[in-house]
């Protein structure tokens, strides 16, 4: 074993995830070498600030802010990209693939914008582009879709794929924390993106859904075509009402294959407390896929943070390194096949809904709301009113299955009425 030529690696980025990768490579050094059939040798670590203290065991000689120096190193085998962002990371990955290097990345932002193009390049160059850590942190969902479910047809996917949102919603519901306090703690724990609006406004989940759709539905999808809603508008009262009706609020990435069309969307939703996704709490992620032959299958685990994510990155590194040693580099990447798929417009999506109105408490208001909903084909299932006296009251409803566009139109009408104190809002309800 010690005779084998080492597999030489450049680590691009050494923050939360990069630090975890170095730790795992050091802690499991001998075991990983035996799995690969050769030692894994770090040659370079690319950062912006070369003076910052790094993970224990990170040698000063590895550290550089000069990407050119890395790309000129002819002895390299694999680039591990954990720096994030689109432009610089994209350039370096592209140049690495052009040179025939194996590439491992955790970068869903880049994959959602340029994934198909970079995969095509990897295939053309006969090398691998592996990206397990880009979705679900330490959960092996990419491998499951690419390998284990390759014999089946995925028809449905429901995922809690943003650890920051799930952590924040959990702290807000269970501990009564405010939005800012919950976000600060998610940042301190290393869950949030460098730009946390990517998390709380739903874009990170949309990018992950685009990546999942490549494998689950064989779809080339533009991120901009996925409707996205984040969690900023959810408040303590929504959590209380949801609980009262028998639901929990979760931030979901939803995919459905209707044959002719795909349905892809990202938003908070009410999930029945009896559904296993309702009890996926804190930073845990869960992805439920439903195969035509398999039926439902749930994958759950820690969806963010240094070590869970490092587990996925290093597992990819082991696969890519083994394939190179075995002379089958590029084989796994060639198995990913994608085509353009039409998306169902959000307005045509059918679902039951949760509606919340803040209105003046006076005769005729409820009838007016019910009338607007009825005019748009929306039928009420349950209703509660809370608060009384001087100020506005909350009217909260759940509906039977209705068209998304119908609910939107009814709300536009209701929000224009003089009895409306604050614009009404709605959330879809997840149905089994």
Residues marked active site are found at: 208
Q: Which of 131, 191, 357, 404 binds ligand HSE (CB under 6 A)?
A: 191
Q: Among ligand HSE, ligand NAP, none, what does residue 405 contact (CB within 5–8 Å per kind)? A: none
Q: To the nearest 10°, the Cα dihedral for 78, 82, 88, 91?
A: 30
Q: Which of 42, 46, 219, 249 binds ligand NAP (CB under 6 A)?
A: 46
Q: Which of 36, 40, 47, 221 binds ligand NAP (CB under 6 A)?
A: 47
User: Residues 299 to 318: which contact ligand NAP by CB under 6 A?
Assistant: 304-305, 309
Q: Among ligand HSE, ligand NAP, none, what does residue 52 contact (CB within 5–8 Å per kind)? A: ligand NAP
Q: Among ligand HSE, ligand NAP, none, what does residue 16 contact (CB within 5–8 Å per kind)? A: ligand NAP
Beta strands in 139-261 (DSSP E): 154-160, 219-220, 247-257
User: Residues 129 to 168: which contact ligand HSE by CB under 6 A?
Assistant: 137, 162-164
How far, CA to CA in Å, does 139 sit from each of 97, 191, 303? Answer: 26, 15, 7
Identify which range of 77-85, 153-161, 257-265, 342-350 contacts ligand NAP by CB under 6 A: 77-85
Q: Does 249 bind ligand NAP (CB under 6 A)?
A: no
228 CB-side CA count, 13 A: 22
* DSSP secondary structure letter of residue 356: E
Distance (Å, rounded) from C-alpha 318 to C-alpha 203? 30
Q: Among ligand NAP, ligand HSE, none, what does residue 162 contact (CB within 5–8 Å per kind)? A: ligand HSE
Q: Which of 15, 116, 303, 424 binds ligand HSE (CB under 6 A)?
A: 303
Q: Does 107 bind ligand HSE (CB under 6 A)?
A: no
Distance (Å, rounded) from C-alpha 242 to C-alpha 260? 34
Distance (Å, rounded) from C-alpha 231 to C-alpha 280? 17
Q: Among ligand NAP, ligand HSE, none, what does residue 18 contact (CB within 5–8 Å per kind)? A: ligand NAP
Question: Which is nearer to ligand HSE, 9 or 304 (by Cβ)?
Answer: 304
Q: Which two tokens stand for residue 126?
A: 């006969």
Count residues near ligand NAP (CB under 6 A).
Answer: 28
Beta strands in 143-261 (DSSP E): 154-160, 219-220, 247-257
State the DSSP string of 271-291.
EETTSGGGG--TTEEEEEEEE
How far the first Cα of the chain sits from its last, in Å, is: 51
Q: Residues 217, 155: contact at Cβ < 8 Å?
A: no
Q: Which of 5, 48, 240, 258 binds ligand NAP (CB under 6 A)?
A: 48
Sheet of 380-386, strand order: 380-386, 393-399, 353-359, 420-428
Q: Does 399 bind ligand HSE (CB under 6 A)?
A: no
Measured from the CB of residue 305, what is the shortest distance to ligand NAP in angstroms? 5
Distance (Å, rounded) from C-alpha 244 to C-alpha 253? 24
Question: Which is nearer to ligand NAP, 197 or 415 (by Cβ)?
Answer: 197
- Positions that interact with ligand HSE (CB under 6 A): 137, 162-164, 191-193, 199, 204, 303-304
- Positions that interact with ligand NAP (CB under 6 A): 13-18, 46-49, 52, 82-85, 88, 106-108, 133, 137, 190-191, 193-194, 304-305, 309
């Amino acid at each position: 074993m010690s005779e084998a030529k080492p597999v030489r690696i450049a680590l691009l980025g050494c923050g939360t995830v990069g630090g975890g990768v170095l730790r795992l490579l050091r802690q499991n050094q001998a075991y990983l070498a035996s799995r690969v059939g050769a030692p894994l040798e770090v040659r370079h670590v690319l950062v912006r600030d070369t003076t910052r203290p790094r993970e224990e065991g990170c040698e000063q000689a590895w550290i550089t802010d000069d990407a050119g120096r890395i790309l000129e190193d002819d002895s390299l085998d694999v680039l591990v990209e954990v720096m994030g962002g689109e432009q610089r990371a994209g350039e370096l990955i592209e140049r690495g693939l052009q040179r025939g290097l194996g590439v491992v990345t955790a970068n869903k932002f880049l994959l959602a914008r340029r994934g198909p193009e970079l995969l095509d390049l990897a295939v053309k160059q006969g090398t691998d582009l592996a990206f397990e850590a880009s979705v679900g942190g330490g959960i092996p969902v990419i491998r499951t879709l690419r390998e284990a479910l390759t014999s089946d047809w995925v028809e449905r996917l429901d995922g809690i794929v943003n650890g920051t949102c799930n952590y924040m919603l959990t702290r807000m519901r269970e501990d009564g924390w405010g939005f800012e306090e919950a976000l600060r703690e998610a940042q301190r724990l290393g869950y949030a993106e460098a730009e946390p609006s990517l998390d709380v406004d739903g874009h990170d989940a949309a990018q992950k859904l685009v990546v999942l759709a490549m494998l689950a539905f064989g779809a080339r999808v533009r991120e901009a075509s996925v409707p996205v809603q984040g969690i900023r508008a959810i408040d303590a009262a929504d959590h209380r009402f949801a609980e009262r009706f028998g639901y929990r609020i979760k931030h979901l990435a939803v995919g459905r294959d209707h044959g002719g069309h795909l349905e892809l969307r990202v938003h908070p939703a009410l999930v029945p407390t009896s559904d296993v996704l309702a009890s996926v709490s804190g930073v845990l992620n869960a992805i439920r896929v439903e195969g035509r032959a398999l039926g439902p299958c749930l994958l759950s685990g820690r969806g963010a943070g240094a070590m869970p994510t490092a587990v996925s990155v290093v597992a990819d590194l082991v696969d890519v390194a083994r394939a190179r040693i075995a002379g089958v580099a590029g084989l796994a990447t060639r198995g990913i096949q994608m085509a353009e798929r039409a998306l169902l417009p959000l307005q045509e999506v059918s679902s039951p809904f949760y509606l919340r109105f803040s209105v003046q408490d006076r005769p005729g208001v409820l009838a007016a709301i019910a009338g607007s909903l009825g005019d748009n084909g929306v039928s009420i299932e349950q209703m509660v009113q809370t608060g009384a006296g001087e100020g506005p009251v909350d009217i909260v409803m759940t509906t039977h299955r209705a068209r998304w566009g119908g609910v939107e139109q009814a709300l536009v009408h209701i929000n224009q009425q003089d009895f409306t104190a604050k614009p009404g809002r709605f959330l879809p309800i997840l149905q089994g």
